[in-house]
Structure 1
Amino acid sequence: MSTKRQLAQQLGVVGGFDDPTVELEQYRTPPDLAAHLVHVADLQGDIDGRTVLDLGAGTGMLALGAALRGPERAIGIDIDRGALQTARRNERRVGTTTDIGWIHADATRAPLCIDDAVVLMNPPFGAQDGNAHADRAFLKTASEVASVSYSIHNSDSQAFVDAFAGDNGGEVTRAFRAELDLDRQFEFHSENRRVVDAEVFRIEWDR
């Protein structure tokens, strides 16, 4: 098994969005954070031999990271067809031999019926006007299709995630702080790079 550092290096070739959409909050998940999340999930026994779903996969960072750690299969779902085309190119760059399926669909209405899936996701934080609590819909889908999920959220989300999990048959079993190191990609950004505080939660769902 590759180390966390080696995994981050392998994911360094994953390209970002060609034409990111503000409303979808499309940002490339940093390779270091993706590697850390996947590494933690692997240590918990949540990758090897499992079916891994990346909800809102974007250009495929989390699905590809999981694919490098030996799941039975990985599936990335995204509403943006262009992003999935980039994800397929990234799959060739990474060179994983794991079976990966890319599905063009609304991840909050995932057209899947899979037993014992594991969800890895970096949902929109709901930072844009009219998009508040966008991560709630992604958590709802995770509660319906997964036995375990890992999700990245804005900082200070612990109370919200705990409450949502409790109301939907889940329990937060692990949480850790993280940083999103984001490059400037929209005109309204005033800085070339910005570090955003975030939190990652592991939730076990009662299915």
Structure 2
Amino acid sequence: MPATAGSKRFTVGLTGGIGSGKSFVADMFGARGASIIDTDILAHQLTAPQGKAIPAIVQQFGSEFLTPEGAMNRSKMREHVFANPAAKKKLEAILHPLIRECAEEAAKQASGSYPIFVVPLLVESGTWKERVSRVLVVDCPEELQIRRVMQRNRFSEQQVRSIMAMQATREARLAAADDVIVNDADIAALAPQVDRLHALYLSFAEK
């Protein structure tokens, strides 16, 4: 099985569509001793005031895409790249290498049983699948995704469907998966699935 670049350590890449519950599932693995490395959190750090990505963002997009505090203006950038695929690729070319670099450094320093990289766009990125030992997908029906995000974010159904249209399809995520957790019920249904995979991952990590 492949490992992250520069490391022989067993690693997991966790992904899922918006509203699938991947962050909640990651927290459950974290409570069992895994080291959770969330690439969304890394992206926020990189685009915060004085973040490593800020100079390149200003050079590529202009200072109008910063907040008065000097962070990337996430809502303005989101609107810009949503309507402009070329701009989206430029932003990804800035952020993705930095995120991978930070994630690999965090994995080297992790003291848990094994690292789990939480990567919302793992399938879409095209590079993460080769950088982890196993891909874990948190899956649920698309209609449930939509209901969850509408309730959580107060988005309209059309807004949620537009976001989902920019993500990999459910079929593509499942095709890329080594392991799947079905999150279509409650915590009681999640726990045994997490326990089973945690035991499996521990057995791999100890080899």
TM-score norm. by structure 2 comes to 0.34
Q: Which has the higher strand share?
A: 1
Higher relative contact order (CA 8 A, sep 6+): 2
Q: Which has the higher helix share?
A: 2
